Amino acid sequence: MSHFKVGDVVEAIDELGVWAKGKIIATENEKFKISFEGFGSMWDYFVSEDKIRSETKAVELPKKRSRDSKIPENLKRLQRGDKVHVVDVGEVPIFQVDPILGNLIVELTVEEKREVRGCDICPPPIKNASPKVKRAKRQKLYSISNEQSKEVVADNDNDNEDGDTGPKDELECSFIYYLRDDGLWLKVGDIVSVEGVGLPFIIYRMYTGTDDGCVLAKLVNVNNCILREDFIIICNINYIVYYSGGKVSLKGSVKEKVEQDAYVEFCTFMSSNVSVVVKVNLRKMVLGHAMRVGLQGGFTNLSCTRISLGPSDVMLDNKIFHFIALTGVVKFSLVNDGDFELVDEILGKGWDYKVGRAEDAFFKSITEVQVKRSNDLSLVLIAKFSQSQFVFTPGYRAECRKVINEGKEQMENIIL
């Protein structure tokens, strides 16, 4: 006796000799009338029991893990020898980087290595931070403000005629570029987002907070090609992420105003009554970060790659010091460039400044950098830089003020 009955869903061989899914709708003389799925009644077909079988359940094949098409940008900027902070491990050196698969191998000890993902990289812990401070930061990752952020800039009008300045209690450094500890490159004018928000923002300014010394960013929401001044986020740069939404377009005048405002503020800081060493270290950090990211980007590019250091450097170098253009060529290794060893190798030790009021006091600044491969496939860096004799005198401060005023006038003439 057949175990199939009317109403069962089965598979049967159709008139073309192919197993097809259908339903038993009638029986006649030990044959079964099958209505095949997806066909009308005119295609109903009688078959014998030996041409019927129970429905075969589809067996899912094991899925291959798809390659992540959104590899974190920080992995593309890391290389062997760099040090990163890994969750539950601490600061460890990188042994090998694979930006295509999105992972890297860190060296825990000489004999022990470990493979980690880009999401395992974390910013360094805050030194001497109490548990209350950490708990407060977890509860409030960012603050939204409808007011303009406070500008902590030295009051140049209070300087005496001799140019002498007193110590500055609150120090707020201004940044145009910043390379985060995890390798994320930030620049004023970039379109980014914030963890947990997902909306597009433009980096309006970056500066150090006077309370704990962390680097903060002022972000303005972008909506319909304009800036929403009523939607501003001020947050730690560690909470900035890439904006993964659609393309965001801005009017050229809007982006120009943001950049103009940034370098005017930067130069205001450079002409303030802050220690000369602080100013030089800030400029050196900007230069080192810009060069390092640019060089690593040119590693896979056989054509020449140029690195621009931004409008603020052009203004300071050319308008204030009237530099004489020079050229330097040197071979280098991306593994051994260190913090500023590459710069020192090109320009010599003490390239940034020499303290004193002697006639041989000088300042050298790189204005354009090119990266290319030589015939033996080694990387070559060609740096055009400038140098000038100067001393930090009241005349120097007057030149800075003059340039700042010119920049402010240009910014006011921009029509949004």
Write out the DSSP string of 235-290: EEGGGEEE--SS-----HHHHHHHHHHHHHHHHHHHTSSS-HHHHHHHHHHHHHHH
In the chain, pLDDT over 70 holds for what percent of residues? 42
Q: Which residue has the higher pLDDT, 405 or 300?
A: 405
pLDDT bin (cut points 50, 70, 90) of residue 357 is: very low
pLDDT bin (cut points 50, 70, 90) of residue 68 is: very low
Residue for token pair 């409008």: 311
What's the CA gap between 320 and 324, in Å, rounded?
12
Mutual angle of helices 276-297 and 252-270, in 10-degree steps: 140
Tokens describing residue 244: 């993964």
Tokens describing residue 344: 């020192």
Residues 6+ apart with CB under 8 A from 404: 264, 267, 268, 271
Residues 6+ apart with CB under 8 A from 221: 199, 200, 201, 227, 228, 231, 232, 233
What's the CA gap between 276 and 270, in Å, rounded?
9
Determine which of 62-66, 94-98, 227-231, 326-330 has the lowest per-residue pLDDT on average: 62-66
pLDDT at 177: 73
Tell me the residue ranges of DSSP E strands in 8-148. Answer: 9-13, 19-28, 31-36, 45-48, 52-54, 83-86, 90-98, 103-107, 113-117, 121-122, 142-145
Determine which of 130-134, 165-169, 170-174, 320-324 has the lowest per-residue pLDDT on average: 165-169
Residue 205, strand partner residues: 218
Residue 305 falls in which region: left (phi positive, over 0), alpha (psi -120 to 50) or beta = beta
**3-state SS assignment for residue 107:** strand
Domains contained in the chain, CATH given: 8-54 (2.30.30.140), 75-121 (2.30.30), 174-271 (2.30.30), 279-415 (no CATH)
Q: Quick check: 279 and 184 in contact, CB under 8 A? A: no
Residue for token pair 């020449």: 304
- Above 80 in pLDDT, residue 195? yes
| Mean pLDDT across the chain | 65
pLDDT bin (cut points 50, 70, 90) of residue 136 is: very low
Determine which of 88-92, 160-164, 180-184, 205-209 has the lowest per-residue pLDDT on average: 160-164
What's the CA gap between 243 and 304, in Å, rounded?
29
Q: Quick check: 321 and 388 in contact, CB under 8 A? A: yes
| Average pLDDT value for residue range 292-321 | 47
From residue 97, how far is each of 77, 93, 102, 116, 372 by CA, in Å?
Answer: 10, 11, 8, 10, 22
Residue 215, strand partner residues: 208
Model pTM greater than 0.85?
Answer: no
Determine which of 24-28, 153-157, 185-189 has the lowest per-residue pLDDT on average: 153-157
Instruction: Provide, for the chain, the percentages of residues in helix, strand and coil under a 3-state DSSP scheme, each rounded to the nearest 5.
Output: 25, 30, 40
What's the CA gap between 68 and 71, in Å, rounded?
6
CB atoms within 10 A of CB 296: 17
Residues 6+ apart with CB under 8 A from 58: none
**3-state SS assignment for residue 338:** coil
pLDDT at 394: 57
CB atoms within 10 A of CB 303: 8
Tokens describing residue 184: 């994320």
From residue 380, how far is each of 90, 144, 215, 309, 341 by CA, in Å?
Answer: 34, 46, 34, 19, 15
What's the CA gap between 358 and 393, in Å, rounded?
12
What's the CA gap between 33 and 106, in Å, rounded?
67
Q: Quick check: 312 and 376 in contact, CB under 8 A? A: no
pLDDT bin (cut points 50, 70, 90) of residue 50 is: confident
